Structure 1
Amino acid sequence: MSQLVIIDYGMGNLRSAQKGFEKVGFAAKVSADPADIARADKVVLPGVGAFRDCMTNLQEGGFVEPLLAHVAAGKPMLGICVGLQLLFSESEEFGRHQGLGIIPGKVVRFPAGMREGGEELKVPHMGWNSLSFTREAPLFKGIEAGSYVYFVHSYYGVPDDTAVVTAESTYGDVTFCAALRKDNVMATQFHPEKSQQVGLQILQNFGEM
């Protein structure tokens, strides 16, 4: 049985991600021990809150090196929400902060004053929005284009190479990266664990890799 580890670095909705995997038949271990990442076959990097704080906690918890080693070994990794943003080179949230650098590019904020139908749109972008697939990805096996998933975010990733984008979504006049894949590294800006049946299918797809 392969070992699936959800990284507990104090910045994620860990229990609901764990329950999501359990619902589709995969035992997921929540762990704050970097040694567990080294032993894991698959790793999930969740994230809520500010990019800077997440990155600080990852560094101080000793997670960065084993995470990068996991990726270099070609083992599957799934980033969720801020877990997607941390993969980027840098973020402009509360100043400029370095990320893990797995995906060259930067994390930027939705512009203020976006409007739709005469209404000013709130930031964060929060609630259900549909996915438009830009290329085939194993994470979306069995999922129809236009499926709705659950987002909560004020920032989004802009990769230097748009070929890594696997799904987009649109908020106001901004079409942004909703999911990406670079080799064995996958990530979603939305929360699969809060996205009902569609989200459970995504977790199942990752678990089966």
Structure 2
Amino acid sequence: MTRVVVLDYGSGNVRSAVRACERAGAEVELSADGDVALAADGLLVPGVGAFEACMRGFSDVGGPRIIERRLIAKKPVLGICVGMQILFGEGIEHGVQTTGCGEWPGRVEPLDAPIVPHMGWNNVEPASASRMFAGIEGERFYFVHSFGVRDWSLTRPPAMPAPVVTWTSYGSERFVSAVEDGPLWATQFHPEKSGDAGRHLLENWLASFAA
């Protein structure tokens, strides 16, 4: 059975993430131990709350180094909600600028929308090459957030595949709702709160381990 570690770094939402991965068919352990996180088949990085607080907790358990070493070894990582946001270059919340992991360029900033947080079910716009959304195109997913990545630009040499980026519209706002970049996947929405569609997405993530 595929073994997944949910990284416990002081963020909320860890128990629901554990249960969701178990429902998707994984053997799951909740751990803050770096060696355990490195050894797992898959690593899930949850995240609830402020960018700065999550990044501080993530750094305290050696999260950036864990991510870097796993990606060098091409071992899958999935970031969820703020666990996705901290993978970007920086976050701006209430005037506080915080450096993120820098796996992707980009700034997490307040959504420009009449009502925030963006809370509830919404559609996504996956690219045709998406493996994350295979078999669940057109489904809705559950979002709870007031901040997001509204601009995406990443130039790579031709030999390096470009990430597959999924977008979501909220009012007149459009933001990044998922990224697939080799072994590094991330979602702004919560698969663990998204019913059958979320379970299917996690099953797709687990299936990617064997690819």
Same-fold status (TM-score > 0.5): yes
Mapping of residues 1-209 of structure 1, within 5 Å:
1-94=1-94, 95-111=96-112, 114=113, 121-144=114-137, 146-157=138-149, 158-161=151-154, 164-209=163-208
Q: Percent identity?
A: 41
Distance in 2 of aligned mates of 1:47 and 1:203:
16
Instruction: Please give the root-mean-square deviation of Cα atoms over the aligned residues, in Å.
Output: 1.5
Deviation at 1:141, TM superposition (A): 1.5
Deviation at 1:73, TM superposition (A): 1.3
Distance in 1 of aligned mates of 2:164 and 2:146:
19
| Counterpart in the other structure of 2:158 | none
Distance in 1 of aligned mates of 2:24 and 2:164:
26
Deviation at 1:86, TM superposition (A): 0.7
Deviation at 1:31, TM superposition (A): 0.6
Aligned residue identity for 2:154:
D
Distance in 2 of aligned mates of 1:159 and 1:5:
29
Deviation at 1:3, TM superposition (A): 2.4
Aligned residues of 1:135 and 1:166 also touching (Cα < 8 A): no
Deviation at 1:165, TM superposition (A): 4.6
Distance in 2 of aligned mates of 1:85 and 1:7:
15
Output one character per residue of 1:13-62: Cα deviation in whole Å (capped at 9) or x when no partner. Answer: 11111111111221111111111112112111110000000111111122
Which range moves more in the overlay, 42-51 or 10-19? 10-19
Structure 2: gaps (5+ residues)? 156-161
Give the TM-score of the pair, scaled to structure 1.
0.90
Deviation at 1:2, TM superposition (A): 3.5
Output one character per residue of 1:74-132: Cα deviation in whole Å (capped at 9) or x when no partner. Answer: 11111100011011011111311100010111111112xx4xxxxxx311100010111
Structure 1: gaps (5+ residues)? 115-120
Aligned residues of 1:37 and 1:67 also touching (Cα < 8 A): no
Distance in 2 of aligned mates of 1:164 and 1:122:
30
